[in-house]
Amino acid sequence: MLNYLKSFISLASTLSFSKTAENLRTSQPCISRQIRLLEEKLSYQLFLRSKHKVFLTEKGKEFRDKIAPLFSELSGILNEQVSSKSEISGTISIGSLAEVGQFYVMHKAVEFAKNYPSVTLRMEYLKQAEILDRIKSGAITFGIITELPKGENIRSYKLMRECVVLVKRRELKLPAVPKFVSYRDADPLLNAFMKRFKKKLGFSSFEEKIVVNSHKSMIDCLLTNDYCAVMPYHSVSHLVENDTLSYETGVCLESDIYLAHYHNPRMDNRDKSFRSFLITEAKKQPYVTD
């Protein structure tokens, strides 16, 4: 039955029999058989299957939300019994917002793994809602998020405070109606920044001229055009330090960054060690700005 539940939790996350079989190192027919037998035991359907897609039923979603934390806790108990308490090994799975993941969390995770050769890292860059869904389904252990979930059985720890700034080429003089490169249409970060600081900066209005969901591409636009952007400072700090870009001082939109995981009183030593390491390292750099 444990194997059936393990297959269910993985399939509920991937919604792909082939990916689940690959993750669990088994065959697709084996996964299909286990899901079918589990559905027979429960007397209701967990998944809807079409030719190319798999969907959770409403009953399946309810079952996932109930069973994922219990399965996680049970896995922790079994790991405690099977593994040596002094040995740190296995896979650490992390889902992170892209920029803070690329510029901070991934570096720290690799640093941790160097100290524990038996540890394997798996990092995914996801949207906030996807991170929370994967934590709840058990697909990932840790999430790096900027908004605390409400009414969820999820533990969170404040890692650091991020500073979002207005950046441009150093020689560019800001006009009354600046043109912006943004990360998405009607970018909420840009709109929040301008709502708070437009008057202070002396702007009468502003225009979104280019939308691209890559901070690297946004920076490329800034380097060769008369555009501005609103970005986390850590994304451009290296270019500010070598005088390629500049940012407007005295205007900083702050946001907190959190480490989150499903509440598990029997979390294994590997995950406890990583959590402690990341929190300790973050205290050395509590404010991501200049």
Q: What does the pLDDT look like over 254-283, one tens digit per residue? A: 989 999 999 888 888 899 999 999 999 988
- What is the reported pTM? 0.63
Position 213 in a domain: yes
Q: Using an 8 Å Cβ cutoff, are 60 and 127 in contact?
A: no
Mean pLDDT of the chain: 89
- Residue 3: half-sphere exposure toward Cβ, Cα within 13 Å: 11
Position 221 in a domain: yes
Position 232 in a domain: yes
Position 116 in a domain: no
Report the percentage of the chain scoring pLDDT > 90: 55
Q: In this structure, what CATH number is given to the domain that contains residue 1?
A: 1.10.10.10
Position 74 in a domain: yes
Q: pLDDT tens, 194-226? A: 999 999 999 999 999 999 988 889 999 999 999
Compute the distance between CA of residue 76 and CA of residue 273 in angstroms, rounded to an integer: 14
Q: How many domains does the chain have?
A: 2
Position 103 in a domain: no
Position 234 in a domain: yes
In which domain, by residue range, is 39 found? Answer: 1-82
Q: In this structure, what CATH number is given to the domain that contains residue 198?
A: 3.40.190.290
Q: Using an 8 Å Cβ cutoff, are 221 and 227 in contact?
A: yes
SS3 content of the chain, % helix, strand, coil (to 5): 45, 25, 30
Domain boundary (63, 82, 101) is at 82
Compute the distance between CA of residue 119 and CA of residue 170 in angstroms, rounded to an integer: 43
Position 155 in a domain: no
